[in-house]
Amino acid sequence: MLQMQIPKEARVPDSPTPLIVATWSFSARGCRKVFPELLSGSRALDAVCSVAREAEADPSIDSVGFGGLPDATGQVTLDAAVMTAPERCGAVCAVARHLFVTDLARKVMERTSHVMLAGAGADAFADAMDMPSTDLVSPAAAQAWQRWRVGEPVGGPRDAGPSSGQLFASPTTSASAHAPVRHPKERETPHDTIGVLAIDRFGALAGACSTSGMPFKLAGRVGDSPIIGHGLYVDPEAGGAVATGTGEMVMGVNGSFLAVECMRRGATPGEAVHEVLTRIERRFRPQSHQQVALIALSRTGEWSAGALRGGFIVSCAQASGTEMLQPNFVMHPEEAVDGPHPADAGGGS
């Protein structure tokens, strides 16, 4: 049984030890599965891609991969990014026919001179790479869209139990027998991004993020997740950061890039995350149901996480085990996001 604890920023004065940190407790299963390989010498990039792939394949998670909720037209489109350095990054967005978009983003990074491919072009590139195509709309997601289309309630506070990875619940949807672990205190917030950071035994950093985007979004909408410097940024000279929550707010301040630049100037990961959240709050004045959270990892293996409001959970895998952790700080601990508001732009990254 995974236990939730309140972490402290672990300072690593000498060489870093392998570590994986990821957004939301539904990433815990992937972190736990992948970490032994990282500990035994696999690369950070392989680790972050594998953790993201675990979430993409799980139909019980309705905010990432298969199971992700559709846009306003009923189509599911996926976004992802991977990064190890400013000169080594790749991304895809609005992918409509291929499930493992984190792997696809990695192929963009490794097989092309480009950084991002979009829409039909990204799908065509996946075909050229012999990646299997598939229907991305799960039965549960199709049913949720039908209810939303006719005005029936789809979102809002709910009690789907501690093992649910679903952002929305209804009597016609249920978590699978292999549903991702969710801590009972994790509130059902608009969290449509899995963001993963890792450091390996060689000191290399890597990051990945993957999402199905805002539920019932306008067709063509792309949030912060696949955009380098917004939802994800990694620079081995300073550190890495990932963001989750209201994507438009993260985009407005180049959230992950800002966090890494703060660390470059000498800020701790906690100070860097605090700077980003403070700037978002000052510029956007988020409403009570809107959430933004970040994880930052320094080049020496120190990490921290923070959120505007309660409900955010971090999964962390290290030599002592895999845990679900509360963020190091919450800007407004007296407030917690109780349920998603799909009609609002706060629907996610």
Residue positions annotated with a catalytic role: 193
- Joined together, the tokens standing for residue 36 give 């032994």
Among residues 71, 70, 73, which one has the least CA distance to residue 140? 70
- Beta partners for 321? 318
Task: Output b/e per residue, 189-198; b: 16+ Cβ within 10 A.
Answer: bbbbbbbbbb
DSSP, collapsed to helix, strand or coil, labels residue 105 as helix
Look at residue 223 and give its three-state secondary structure: coil
Q: What is the Cα–Cα distance from 174 to 139, expressed in whole angstroms?
A: 11
CB neighbours (10 Å) of residue 130? 6
Contact 292, 249 (CB under 8 A): yes
Please tell me the distance from the alpha carbon of residue 188 to that of residue 312, in angstroms, as a whole number.
9
